[in-house]
Structure formats: structure tokens, C-alpha cells
Chain A
Amino acid sequence: MSAIELPVPGPAPGARIRPPESPPWRLRDRLGLGLAWLLGLLFCAVAVAIVLYFLVQGIKYVRPELFVTNPSVNASTSVATGGFLDPLLGTLLVTALAMSIALPVGIAVAVWLSEYGRPAALARIAESSIEMIAGTPSIVLALFGVLLFESPALGFLSRMSGGVVYGRSFFAGAAMLSLVGLPLVVTNVRAGLQAIPNHVREASYALGKTKIATTRRVLLPAARPSVLTGAMLGAGRVIGDTAIIVVLLGGTLTFNSAGSVPLLSTLQGTGATLTYYVFYNAPTGEGNQPGKAYAAAFVLLAIVLALNVGVDVATRRSRRLRWSS
């Protein structure tokens, strides 16, 4: 029996205590770490290469007059000339229209999911529906849009001639694009609402506010950064979509109004966006003007970059707002 433990030969008094040596890593672990570094750096390199490539091409091809002239096709040589004024405006118009549908609907769905959510079965169905919409290819949404907007009941949203509904218009494109943006708005707003602790709601109820008043006056203002993030992420997806534009915006490079009422006729008419302009001017498209495609892609990238910076600012602001729980 050795009740008395022998003194372990420890470090001599006064010597520096060193942490125990960790055993050397196994080869597999080292390989894994090396691969992670390699792929991480490769990822950076690809990102830098893409951004630099478009920066260089953009500087080479972007000319101020591209922003103020419209695309036109020279009838004799059938070479596309001109700039991308109308596609640029078309991008802004269709995005604004799509987000003005997606944002209110998305906020409403998110509020219902996060604050009401009864009956539970409907909540679960709604949740998976939003997930399904997010997973639906945009080309399928586009074809669904053709069906919807070619029906006579919705004919007033596009051009009609002799009872045949054309079904291609800014309204049609924006309505379908709003479905592209909707899931992002819903997920972000919902996450923002759920991050608000319950005592905030209870404090509002204690003051005699109803649930809807609490939502409108307390919760939504508090979740504003997430609403903003959702809106910008949604707008980013909407701006980048090409399939719906190709199918539902009619494929005319300039605004082609359907009537004489100023704004309404433009929205009922057909047009193009920057993504379509890039697609049209790529070597595989009909225009085949690489310089124009690069310039438009550069502008598109700049818009996306600006939106990303916006999202960054919004999330930083939401981080500043902390709830003590």
C-alpha cells in the first residue's frame, strides 16, 4: 500500500514550465490540413481572377456613350450597334417591380410563419412550399408564367391583338421574378423576427398592444436590418436571372410599348435587361459583340457588388443591435 504518493519528478523549482508536447500529427491529418489550405487559396485565386478579368475587360470596353444610347440593329449589315440604355433601365424597372411584389408578400408570409403559424399543419406546408419555390428552376417558373399570362383573364397585363394574348411583358416577367426573390425575403425576415427575444413581445402585450400592433410597431422595426438584407439578396437573385427574362420579357432589345399611356404601356410592353443583353451579345447569342457583352457584364457585376456592400452594412448594423436576454 502506498498511501503516500512518491513525489513526481517535476520541473526543478525556478525552471520554466513547458506545456506538454502534443504528439506529431498523423499523415492523414496533415494531408487534410494541407488540402484545406490549398483549396482555400485556390478559391481565393479563382475569385481574384474572375474579378480582375472583368475589371480589365470592363475598363477596356465600357464607354460613357454606352450608357446613353439604345441598342439598335443596322438594317443593311445586321450588325448590332449602340449602347445599353434600355436594358439598364429595364433591369432597374423589372427588379423594382418584382421586389415591390416579393417584399410585401415575403414579409407577410414571414410574419405569419414566425408570429402566428396556426394551424401547425398549414405552417409546415407553407414552410416546405417556400423551400420548394426556392428549389424550382427559374426556367420552369418562366414556362408557368407563359401559361398564366397567355390566359385571357390576365391579358390586360400584356399585349392583345384580336383576342390572342401575347403574354410577354414587364408585368409577366416581374411577377415570375418575384417568386425568385420571395424565398430569400421570407427566410431572412423570419430569421430576423425569431432572433427577437420573447420578452420584447411580452412587454408590448403588457402595454395593451395587440399582436398585429406589436408586429407592426415593435417587431418589424426591430427586424429592419434583416428585412433589408432579405430585400437586397432577393434583388440580387432577381437581377441575375436570365431564363425568365429570355422567355417572358419578349426579347426586344429596346422598350417596345404596348399602348400610349406613358408608364403603363411600357410595363405592358416588352423589353430587355442587362442579363439578356449579355446573353444576346455573347458569341453563342444572336448579337455576338464581345465588347458589348463585357461592358454590360461589368455594369451588372458593379450592381451586384453594390448590393453586396449594402447587405454587409445592413448585417453589421443588425449586429450592433443586441438584445440582453
Chain B
Amino acid sequence: MDEDDLLEAEATTDSDRRAELMLGALVCLVVALLLGMFAFVIYQAWPSFSHNGLSWFGGGGNVDSEIQAMFNSGASLARPVYAFHGWPLIWGSILLVGGAVTIAFVCSLFVAVFVVEFAPDPLRRVLEPVIRLLASVPSVIYGLVGVFVLVPFIGNHVISSGSKASVSGIITLNGYSLLAGVLILTVMIAPVMVAVFSDGLRAVPKGWIEASLGLGINKWRTVWKIGVRAARPTLIAGTVLATARALGEAVMVGMVCGVVSFAPNPVDGWIFFVEPTRPLAATIIAFIDDLSSPPMRHTLYAIAAVLLLSAALLSFGGWAAKQPMKRYGLRT
């Protein structure tokens, strides 16, 4: 090897090292952006949390009138009002996301099993692209379906005029409701879940399924006890993904759940399901034009911080739930 070759080799490894450093720097930048987001949002949110303490998460106030007071005080700036009790929003989020994820999880699991193991071939060939299409339909389109189809239906046929009159002093029941939100949210996140679940079911080693079938166990039991169990890490991953989607869905939920921040009360009987609500994310969208008023701004960032931390917690929870499955050698 003469000197030129050596020099060239050195130059190329140099460029290689440079490339690695540059790529690594870019990765660090992305990580820093994420950390920066946490820092900035929480910093902006801090005044709201520090003025309210733990009562931020408590109930006992009307969120809408509190926000009105906050907005009015923002004009003078001498005495900013920060009082805020976010429980109705949090409760709305819990109900909506909990309801939608529960329904969607059960349905998606069965649909995924059906698509992967039981659907006749022609149907399967149609279903797979359709699932992917439904998973990528913009949420505002689902919201439009909700507003034009589901909300009028609930308003006109599900709610009797008697029950409308019974609560007329407190809220108007006109179809914009928890029920509409849960149903539309379910339709929105179910395809995401089905897509992830069926990928997981397909990745189960064929030998495991065949071994079970060979032992004379019928196909349903085999799929249920071997396939679904082996796909548990993917079930968790899909659920976490879909929950994050549902939690952060602002525009569509704001379209179908109504505009008042009311906490649906289970004591009301079955009217509970048709009462309006407004979860955390939809509240941010509803008051986004008021960012210029400082107390409003801090409060909206506080809501965003709660959402961000819940999303982080969710992601961590998914990771933690997958840990005990690792020792079975399951694919994660």
C-alpha cells in the first residue's frame, strides 16, 4: 500500500467520523427539542399551578365563569385572577378517553382476531387496506360525521323531551354529549388499534399456533390462548398509541361534545351519557384566541402541561407494563 492509499483511507474514515458526529448531533437536537418543550410548557404553566396549588385539580367551581373572570382580569393586569378548578375538564377527559378506549379495545381485539385468523381471503384482502385508510382519515372528518349524523340523532331520538325539561335549569341537552364523543372517538381510534393488533397477531410464530392445533385444540382457543397472549406487548403498544390519540384529540371532540364545561354526573341516571362535557384538550382550542391575556395564557399552558405529563406517564406506563413479558421471550 503506498502513501496515497493510506492518506485516502484516513480521509474517508475521517469523513465517516464526521458523518456520525453530525447525525448524532441532529439526534441530540431532536431530544433537546423534546426536553425544551417540557421545560417551556411547564415554565409557562407554573403561575397557574402555584396560585392554585392542588386545588387546580379539584372541583368546586364553574370552569367557564372562572375563565371569564380570568379573561376580564387580564385587561387590567393590576390584579390578575388565577382561581381555577380543573376537575370538570379532567373528569370529562377521563370519561371520554376511558369510555372510548375500553370499547375500542374490546372491539378491536375481536376485529383483529377476525381479520388475521378467520376472515375469508377475499374479505381480508379488502379489509386490510380499509383499516389503514380508516386509521389515517383526518379526525375533523369524523367530527363532521358526528356533528351531522350522531348529534342530531341523539338530540332528537335518544333524549326524551321529559329528560330535557328535567335539567333545563342547569344544562341544555341537545345531542352534543358525552355519548356522541365516546362513540365518534371509538370509531376514530379503533382502526389504529386494529392495525397495530393485527400486526402483532401476524408476528406470532406459526409454529406455536400449529403446535396447539396439532394437540387437537380448536382454532378459537388456540388463537385466544396462544396468539392473543403472545401478542400482548403489541396489544399494550397499540392501546398506548390509541389512548394518546384520544387524549390529545381537541378539535373533533370540541365539535361533538358541546361547548360548556360540565362534569357529567353519574347520579343523574342514564341522562349522564347524554350530558355535554368538554375535556382538557378541547378547552385549549375553545379559548385559544385569549392567549394574549396573561392569566388565561398561563392557565391554558397549565392544561397543556397536564396533557403533556399524562402522555408521558402513559408512554412510561406502557413501557413498564411490557417489562414482565420480556422474560417469556415475547417480541416487544
Contact = CB atoms under 8 A, between A and B. Distances in A.
The listed residue with most B CB atoms (<10 A of its CB), out of A50, A138, A143, A147, is A143
A267 interface: no
B244 A109 contact: no
Interface stretch (A5-13, A69-77, A252-260, A275-283): A275-283
Nearest to A47: B130
A275 B300 CA distance: 23
B220 A297 contact: no
B24 A143 contact: no
A212 B114 contact: no
B138 A242 contact: yes
Nearest to B151: A283
Contact of A275 (B16, B134, B138, B190): B138
Interface string B34-58: 1001001100100000000000000
Contacts of B134: 47, 50
Contact of B145 (A50, A179, A284): A50
Given A134-B241, A247-B288, A305 B301 contact: no
| Range of interface residues on A (Cβ < 8 Å) | 35 or more
A22 B147 contact: no
A141 B40 CA distance: 11
Given A29-B220, A278-B140, A137 B147 contact: no
Interface stretch (B67-75, B164-172, B303-311): B303-311
Given A37-B118, A109-B26, A136 B37 contact: yes
Contacts of A141: 37
Interface in B4-24: 12-13, 15-16, 19-20, 23-24
Nearest to B21: A116
Given A39-B114, A240-B140, A308-B129, A139 B148 contact: no
Contacts of B284: 139, 143
Contact of B16 (A146, A211, A293): A211
B41 A126 contact: no
B285 A112 contact: no
B136 interface: yes
B123 to A, nearest CB: 8
A111 interface: yes
Given A135-B311, A211-B16, A112 B254 contact: no
A302 to B, nearest CB: 11
A300 B148 contact: no
Contact of B251 (A39, A132, A212, A243): A243
A200 interface: no
Nearest to A37: B114
B235 interface: no
A279 B30 contact: no
B119 interface: yes
A137 B308 contact: yes
B314 interface: yes
Interface in A32-51: 32-33, 35-37, 39-40, 42-44, 46-47, 50
A193 to B, nearest CB: 13
Interface string B240-254: 110010011111101
Interface stretch (A78-86, A152-160, A231-239): A231-239
A99 B169 CA distance: 50
Interface in A134-175: 134-141, 143-144, 146-148
Interface string A187-230: 00000000000000000000000111100000000000000000
28 contacts: A22-B216, A29-B220, A32-B220, A33-B118, A35-B110, A40-B110, A54-B141, A109-B27, A112-B24, A112-B27, A125-B31, A126-B31, A132-B312, A137-B248, A139-B284, A143-B284, A147-B40, A242-B138, A275-B138, A278-B144, A279-B251, A282-B144, A284-B147, A307-B136, A308-B129, A308-B133, A308-B136, A312-B129
Given A135-B240, A243-B281, 5 more contacts: A122-B27, A137-B244, A147-B44, A240-B136, A278-B140
Interface of B: 12-13, 15-16, 19-20, 23-24, 26-28, 30-31, 33-34, 37, 40-41, 44, 107, 110-111, 113-115, 118-119, 123, 126-127, 129-130, 132-134, 136-141, 143-145, 147-149, 187, 190, 194, 216, 218, 220-221, 224, 240-241, 244, 247-252, 254-255, 259, 281, 284-285, 288, 291, 300-301, 304, 307-308, 311-312, 314-315, 319
